[in-house]
A and B are shown apart, each in its own frame.
Chain A
Amino acid sequence: MSEVGKPHDRVDGRLKVTGTATYAAETPVANVAHAVIVSSAASHGTIKAVDTRAALAQPGVLAVLAVGAAPKLPDANKKNSPQDKILQLLQDDALHYPDQPVAVVVADTLERAQHAAMLVASQVTEEPVALEVPGGEAYKPEHAGPRGEPDTTRGDLAAGLAAAKFKVAATYRTPVHNHHPMELHATIAAWQGDKFLTVYDATQGIFNVRDRLATIFGLDKKNVRVIDKFVGGGFGSKGSPWSHVPLAAMAAKQVGRPVKLVVTRQQMCSLTGHRPVTVQELQLGCDEKGALTAIEHKVTSETCRFDEFVEPSAIQTRMIYSCPNVVTSHRLVKLDIATPTFTRAPGEATGTYALESAMDELAYAANIDPLAFRIKNYSTTDEQEKKPFSSKELMACYTKASEAFGWSKRKMAPRSQRDGNWLVGWGMATATYPARQMPASARVTIKADGTAVVQVGTQDLGTGTYTVMTQVAADELGIAFDRITFELGDTALPEAPLSAGSMTAATVGSAVKIACQKAKQELAMRGGKGEVTVEHHNEVSKDHDKFAMHSHGAVFVEVKVDEDLGLVRVSRVVGAYAGGQILNAKTARSQLLGGVVWSIGMALVEETVRDPKTGRVITRDLADYHVPVHADVPDIQIIMVDEKDPHVNEVGAKGLGEIGNTGASAAIASAVFHATGKRIRDLPIRLDKLLPDVHA
């Protein structure tokens, strides 16, 4: 029987529940010194001086590297790829954003380094800060993220709007989000002489880190080794190295000892990326029968002044529904902030909130059931790219989820259900996320004793890579699941891309599959005896040019809203998802659950707030930046819809890491509308936005 698809327990489960899984900062390193980043108190301007004397006077302090007195790194900001960030490595006196590193203190103990860091004082000539997207000068970026044109036009928008019987025009806003993986960003840097560097780093992409460090320190890539066996969550924030990574290596070089640098939770609000604010203007029109005649989706998001990141929120709008006249655009406003970056379902998380909310508004304008309205406008091809879908089981998602939820019993009118003080509302939305793949290599060794080792320099962020790759290998090799070891998280292994964009299952799974097939053939050629090792480099499926490839889903939500107090609780969620071949039913379900929980957070509680004068993050810790707690999350029913896709890649998997965080926040917002009659177009939906009158 096939191992792929089985709900195997995680192979690394035992390590994780016994506390023996070793995360980057936990790597045993004798004589390790502790480094702490000194963050700027001032927000923006020119650093005039950094006074390190008091810090240097502290016992145990080994070095203080500060702006103006730090080792010079000529290639500090040479990017290896567009996704690399402009870093702040104490090289110049420009202060771009609050909390920017102005020094690094290294001491023999963590406590001494932390204390000395508090004694470093910097003098800054301050300049005023611009912090708000509205009113800022917007410009058109070259690309809407790594995948797409910033602007598209299909058909004639004005004609489509003119032809519409029903129209909706609304502006939606999403705030800054911080990723806040539970594992703090952390780097241990250990030099071996001048030319060799080993780094234990909390990262979603060990090879990205290797390449950047090689560039910055002028090292041969082969001599930089990056290791990360367990990643305590990333969600985009660990996708490319931030300033602390080279700073740790710089500090280690300076003190001639390995250095451990752990970014604090407070610093993670500014130093390791965030999801930018988006302001999204939508115009939708449909005819009498509910057929869409026009969609306009204009996105403006924030970026920093010294680097660029686009939240591509309108990408899904180009293909998700059938509509002849569609215009989308992305604009950026430069602010005096730290650099935004990819955050779980970048683009789609914020974009589906706006688009699917507008779809709900139009369904109400046309008095059509929101589900029926989606079905009416079902797209059978990608009308923007003019390509067929490689597979699309969205209709089955709608059917299965709505039946499990009991959607047919829904009354259209808002405020039609009640449970004591609680108004009850139901909402739904479509979920979608692209199915991507990148090249990757895998090495397979079949040993004489009938066991096998499969190696890929990929990562397991908690997605289940260790487990699902073992399952893929078991099927291809015909070797029992428990006789295969899968190794990852080391640049000494064959190269694979970063773990992001829901593409690891497809990318690494395909490489593993073909490598295993080759290894089996090789063994057969040798008469089935002895040990063979085969390495295979896998390219992206050629069908990516011919087909549009996306995962899809439908999510249905029940909320309860306290009529007097404005409290909102999600009481029920049913989501059905089609993501191609499921490699492990248990871990796949977990990823989808997690995505939905993120949507609950995004819809109801999450917001990074900046001080209006200084731009310093106010919500600096996990007491002030609310992520959902146990009590916020009801039981969530996940339905996995069968989907066979012969085109998407060798394993037929589309990826499920992010789609859970699409659509669901709109479903919640629509459910709040259904409960209260009040439409909140500005996330998160906190009680102060529903007060003083929970009525519309």
Chain B
Amino acid sequence: MRRPRVLAFIDPWSPDPAELPAIQAHLRGLGAELGVVTKRGTWLVTPDDPPARLAEAPEADRSFEVADGATLVEALAAAGDAMRTPAPMTFTRREWALTSIAAGFSLALFGCKGKPHEDKPAPAPPPVVKAPMPPEYDIVLSVNGSDRKLKVEARVSLLDALRERLGLTGTKKGCDHGQCGACTVHFGERRIKSCMQLAVMSQGMKITTIEGLAQGDTLHPMQAAFVAHDGFQCGYCTPGQIMSAVAMLAEGHAKTDDEVREMMSGNLCRCGAYPNIIAAIQAARKGAA
């Protein structure tokens, strides 16, 4: 017994640490392992382990050739799309190539999932009237210096746009009601709670998240101070604390420890790292001065 597996023929290919997270994300979505056959060897890529080089060609439930000009990630993404939605009605040539691969691929995957369980309840009768599709809006968010295009319903929060759509999961969800501060980002120069901000209302403003704070490999002084002073334990409130603290120093209204405590009180820390956070902020202030 083994996991569902697909085989891709592509050349040249070798595991690339930059590409691997995307491949693994797609494999998690597909529920399959991937064998990659190249002229120079064969690899097995699973969702959660480093790629392994195989001595023998792997068994497969389905194999496909990655089309010219496409990457493995694109082929896997197309397969996922095909699983999710019916095939589109019109194609460009290239879409046709990818989609046809993907359609077969998805069928193969469904096949190896086996028959539905007998104890699975009968599906609910289809509702008579489907509710209307909510309107969607094409928006552009300027995040960490780059413009990111999105199509979202108006009810999508900036936080969920960052976390669920832009892959920027450094900004945390802790309460979804503006009560914990874990979702703090900079909106222009201001610190705000991104869970209370709608994405459609966030256009035209420079948004900075924790991912945009460091300069390349060089940590922002506040980030470095949090590490040095152990200003966190579990780390979940940390991006919010740091974004809040950086903005607080720029605001210039808090200097003493007690003033800093007051002006950081919108950021909860359940591990109880508060004394260390204050120490980190005051150290960063001195470093900045």
Contact = CB atoms under 8 A, between A and B. Distances in A.
Question: In the complex, is A directly touching B at CB under 8 Å?
Answer: yes
Interface of A: 9-10, 12-23, 26-32, 52-54, 56-59, 64, 69-72, 108-111, 115, 179-184, 190-196, 198, 223, 225, 227, 230-233, 235, 253-254, 256-258, 262, 264-265, 461-464, 490, 492, 586-587, 589-591, 593-598, 621-623, 627-631, 633-636, 660
Contacts of A184: 173-174
Interface stretch (B7-15, B18-26, B36-44): B18-26
A47 B127 CA distance: 22
B181 to A, nearest CB: 9
B275 A232 contact: no
A634 B260 CA distance: 12
Contact of A59 (B130, B176, B210, B211): B130
Nearest to A33: B84
B168 to A, nearest CB: 8
Interface in B98-127: 110, 112-114, 117, 119-121, 124, 126-127
Contact of B119 (A13, A72, A109, A593): A72
Interface residues of B, number: 100
Contact of B175 (A12, A257, A265, A462): A265
Given A182-B270, A232-B236, A621 B127 contact: no
B3 A594 contact: no
Contact of A461 (B30, B172, B234, B264): B234
Nearest to B228: A9
A593 B21 contact: no
B261 A630 contact: yes
A59 B274 contact: no
B80 interface: yes
A184 B83 CA distance: 29
A631 B119 contact: no
A30 B77 CA distance: 8
Contacts of A622: 174-175, 177, 179-180, 268
Contacts of A64: 124
Contacts of A198: 28, 47-48
Contacts of B164: 109-110
Given A182-B182, A192-B31, A16 B120 contact: no
A195 B174 contact: no
Given A18-B211, A29-B29, A232-B236, A111 B160 contact: yes
Interface string B247-264: 000000000011011101
Main secondary structure on A side of the interface with B: loop
A57 B25 contact: no
Interface string B132-147: 1110000000000000
A196 B226 contact: no
B31 A190 contact: yes
Given A17-B238, A29-B29, A30-B80, A193 B112 contact: yes
Given A190-B47, A193-B31, A257-B29, A593 B276 contact: yes
Given A71-B121, A182-B269, A257 B83 contact: yes
Contacts of B176: 264-265
A642 to B, nearest CB: 21
Nearest to B173: A184
A593 B273 contact: yes
Interface in B188-230: 209-211, 213-214, 219, 223-224, 226-228, 230
A593 B179 contact: no
Q: Which of B28, B129, B223, B273 has the most CB of A within 10 A?
A: B28
Q: Which of B131, B267, B278 has the most CB of A within 10 A?
A: B131
B170 A233 contact: no
Contact of B236 (A182, A463, A590, A598): A182
Contact of B273 (A20, A231, A232, A594): A594
Contacts of B21: 28
Nearest to B178: A623
B171 interface: yes
B1 interface: yes
Given A586-B230, A593-B274, 19 more contacts: A14-B219, A14-B227, A17-B224, A17-B239, A18-B211, A22-B169, A30-B28, A59-B133, A110-B164, A182-B174, A182-B269, A258-B28, A258-B29, A265-B179, A591-B233, A594-B272, A630-B267, A630-B269, A631-B262
Given A14-B219, A17-B223, A193-B4, A590 B273 contact: yes
Nearest to B209: A19
B235 to A, nearest CB: 3
Contacts of A183: 172, 174, 234, 236
A179 B234 CA distance: 14
Nearest to B26: A30
A233 B233 contact: yes
Contacts of A621: 175, 177, 179
